[in-house]
C-alpha cells in the first residue's frame, strides 16, 4: 500500500518542540517522502564546517560534534492518521522507542505529534503535490529518493552499531581507547541531500551531508550512474524519468 499523496514530497522542518517545552529552530531538517520510501537528514547549526577530504581532516572534538547529526531512511507505513517510519538505515545506533507519530495536514503545513514521547514537529512542504517521485536501491546497502528537484541518498556503513544512547557515546568510547579507526568506521554512514538541476554548473549537487567534505560535489562522483540502480517505485511512467538520467 502506497503512502497517501498528501504526505509525499520534500518537507522542511520549521520547529521541534521537546517534552520539556524547549524548542529547536536552528537544526536543518529535511524529509523526502516517495510513495513508499523516505530519506531524512538533520544537520545541527553548530556542525563543524567542511574541512579537507575524509575524517582525517577533523580533530577528535570535531568527530564528536559530527556524531551529533541525525538521519535515517527506509519505508513509511501509514495507518489512518498514524505514521510508522521503518528505518532500514540510521546514522544513530539502535535503541529507544519506535519512530511512530500522529500527523495532521493543513495545506502545506504538516504537524507531527509523538506517540511514545510528548514532542511536536512542524513541517512545511517544499514541492508541489504533483511533483515527480522516484525511489531507487543499489543492492542492499544504498537507497536514493527523489521528489521534484530534490534528492536524498543513503549508503550504509560497513559495520553494524550496537545499541547505545547515541553515536557520540560510541565515538567517545573509541577515542578514549585509542581506536579512532573504529570511531571513523562507525560514523561512515553517508547521507546526502541536494538538487537535481545544476547549481553553479554542477548537476545533482550535494548541499548537505553527514560527510561534509562531499558538499559541493555531484552525487555521481561518489556513486554509480543511475542506470545501474533498481527503480522501486515512482508516480510517473518510466519514459517520464528520462530527465533524471540526463
pLDDT of residue 90: 98
Q: Is the pLDDT of residue 236 over 90?
A: yes
**What average pLDDT score do residues 238-246 get?**
91
Given a contact cutoff of 8 angstroms between Cβ atoms, the answer to whether 10 and 148 are in contact is: yes
* 163/166 Cα distance (integer angstroms): 8
pTM of the model: 0.97
Check residue 147 and give its pLDDT: 98
| Residue 129: band (very low, low, confident or very high) from pLDDT cuts 50, 70, 90 | confident
Q: Give the residue from 55, 33, 50 showing the smallest Cα distance to 208.
A: 50
* C-alpha span between 78 and 8 (Å, rounded): 12
Per-residue pLDDT of 106-127, as tens digits, reads 999 999 999 999 999 999 999 9
CB count within 10 Å of CB 94 equals 11
Closest by Cα among 107, 71, 91, 88 to 168: 91
> What's residue 127's pLDDT?
97
Q: What is the C-alpha to C-alpha distance for residues 87 and 34, in angstroms, rounded to an integer?
A: 15
CA 42 – CA 121 distance, rounded (Å): 13
What pLDDT was estimated at residue 190?
A: 98
Q: Of 169, 209, 193, 182, which is closest to residue 69 (Cα–Cα)?
A: 209
Residues 6+ apart with CB under 8 A from 66: 47, 48, 58, 187, 210, 212
Could you give the count of Cα atoms lying within 13 Å of 88 in the half-sphere of its Cβ?
Answer: 18
Domains (ranges, CATH) in the chain? Answer: 5-245 (2.40.128.280)
Q: What is the pLDDT of residue 140?
A: 95
Closest CA to 131 of 145, 113, 142: 145
Q: How many CB atoms lie within 10 A of CB 209?
A: 24
Separation CA 27–CA 221 (nearest Å): 27
pLDDT at 159 over 90: yes
Q: Cα 240 to the chain's mean position, in Å? A: 25
Decide if pLDDT at 33 tops 90.
yes
CA distance 233 to 19: 36
pLDDT over 90 at 51, yes or no? no
pLDDT digits (tens, 9 = 90+) for 56-93: 999 999 999 999 999 999 999 999 999 999 999 999 99
Q: Which three cell numbers stand for residue 179?
A: 581506536
Q: Residue 11 in 3-state DSSP?
A: strand
The tens digit of pLDDT for each residue in 189-233 reads 999 999 999 999 999 999 999 999 999 999 999 999 999 999 999
Percent of the chain with pLDDT over 70: 100
Residue 9 to residues 13, 49, 131, 234, Cα–Cα distance (Å): 13, 28, 7, 12
End-to-end CA distance of the chain: 30
154 in Cβ contact with 73 (< 8 Å): yes
Amino acid at each position: 500500500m502506497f503512502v497517501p499523496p498528501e504526505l509525499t514530497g520534500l518537507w522542511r522542518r520549521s520547529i521541534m518542540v521537546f517534552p520539556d517545552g524547549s524548542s529547536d529552530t536552528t537544526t536543518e531538517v529535511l524529509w523526502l517522502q516517495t510513495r513508499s520510501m523516505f530519506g531524512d537528514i538533520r544537520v545541527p547549526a553548530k556542525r563543524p564546517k567542511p574541512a579537507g577530504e575524509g575524517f582525517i581532516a577533523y580533530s577528535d572534538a570535531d568527530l564528536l560534534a559530527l556524531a551529533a547529526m541525525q538521519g535515517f531512511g527506509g519505508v513509511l507505513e501509514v495507518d489512518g492518521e498514524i505514521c510508522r517510519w521503518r528505518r532500514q538505515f540510521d546514522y544513530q545506533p539502535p535503541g529507544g522507542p519506535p519512530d511512530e507519530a500522529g500527523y495532521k495536514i493543513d495545506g502545506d503545513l504538516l504537524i507531527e505529534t509523538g506517540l511514545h514521547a510528548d514532542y511536536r514537529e512542524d513541517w512545511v512542504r517544499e514541492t508541489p503535490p504533483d511533483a515527480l517521485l522516484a525511489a531507487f536501491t543499489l543492492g542492499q546497502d544504498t537507497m536514493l529518493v527523489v521528489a521534484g528537484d530534490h534528492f536524498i541518498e543513503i549508503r550504509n556503513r560497513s559495520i553494524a552499531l550496537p545499541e547505545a544512547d547515541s553515536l557520540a557515546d560510541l565515538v567517545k568510547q573509541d577515542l578514549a581507547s585509542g581506536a579512532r579507526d573504529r570511531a571513523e568506521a562507525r560514523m561512515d554512514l553517508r547521507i546526502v541531500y541536494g538538487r537535481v538541476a545544476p547549481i553553479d554548473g554542477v548537476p545533482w549537487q550535494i548541499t548537505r551531508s553527514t560527510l561534509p567534505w562531499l558538499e559541493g560535489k555531484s552525487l555521481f562522483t561518489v556513486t554509480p550512474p543511475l542506470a545501474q540502480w533498481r527503480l522501486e517505485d515512482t508516480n510517473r511512467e518510466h519514459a517520464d524519468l528520462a530527465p533524471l538520467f540526463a
